[in-house]
Amino acid sequence: MKAMDIPGLSTLYAILKRDIERKNDILTQRKDLAGQLLKNCQAWSQVLLTTFDTAIERWRVEGREAAEREIMDQQNDFMKLDYWSLGTESPILRFLDEDERFKPFVASCIDFYQSALSVKRLVWGQIEDHPGHYITSHETDVGVMVALWKAEVERMLHDVSLQHMAVKVLTPK
């Protein structure tokens, strides 16, 4: 089986690596960039949710191993991206992080990307069904596992959205 080619993967990642040219109104620039990151997180979540729907279908039709391969292929595609160093290496995140008021937003974005891109946890069963309690696919149906993963993606996206609302209303110091 060839590795998956996730449509738009490089485009989704590009925002995190592009250089930032400072403009005169830095607060407005930061707000605009935060809006772009929010849209990027929304796009990533759609990629993930679609992939997991595909994995569920493969599990039902071809068995667990096929679903695991589907998810691991996606993980392999993601591993080509240097997402573990986003907090220190991403120009856009560093630029936003320079302003203390954007730090919670930046942290929520980093958490989202690191959680969303570590899809292998679905296969290995590191999914919380409630705080502090992890379940594995051997303990439950793949549908339950994927529902929990989707809930995590949605929770992380919700955190990014909440932090984005906070930076949207910032005014100059």
DSSP E strand stretches across 19-159? 127-130, 133-135
Total domains in the chain come to 1
Q: Is 1 a member of any domain?
A: no
Reported residue count of the chain is 173
According to the model, what pLDDT value does residue 78 have? 65
Q: Is 86 a member of any domain?
A: yes
Q: Is 173 a member of any domain?
A: no
Q: Which domain holds residue 93?
A: 9-17+36-168
According to the model, what pLDDT value does residue 69 have? 76
C-alpha separations of 101 from 17, 172, 173 in Å: 22, 11, 10
Residues 42 and 35: their CA atoms lie apart, in Å, by 11
Q: Is 3 a member of any domain?
A: no
Q: State the residue for tokens 């906070």.
A: 166
pLDDT tens readout for residues 136-169 = 666 766 677 777 778 888 888 999 999 999 999 9
Residues 72 and 92: their CA atoms lie apart, in Å, by 29
pTM (two decimals): 0.80
pLDDT tens readout for residues 75-133 = 666 666 555 556 678 899 999 999 999 999 999 998 888 776 666 555 555 666 777 77
According to the model, what pLDDT value does residue 106 have? 95
Q: Is 30 a member of any domain?
A: no
Q: Is 23 a member of any domain?
A: no
pLDDT tens readout for residues 3-51 = 345 556 666 677 878 889 999 999 999 999 999 999 989 988 887 788 7
CA 67 to chain centre: 20
According to the model, what pLDDT value does residue 125 have? 57
Q: Is 22 a member of any domain?
A: no
Q: Is 27 a member of any domain?
A: no
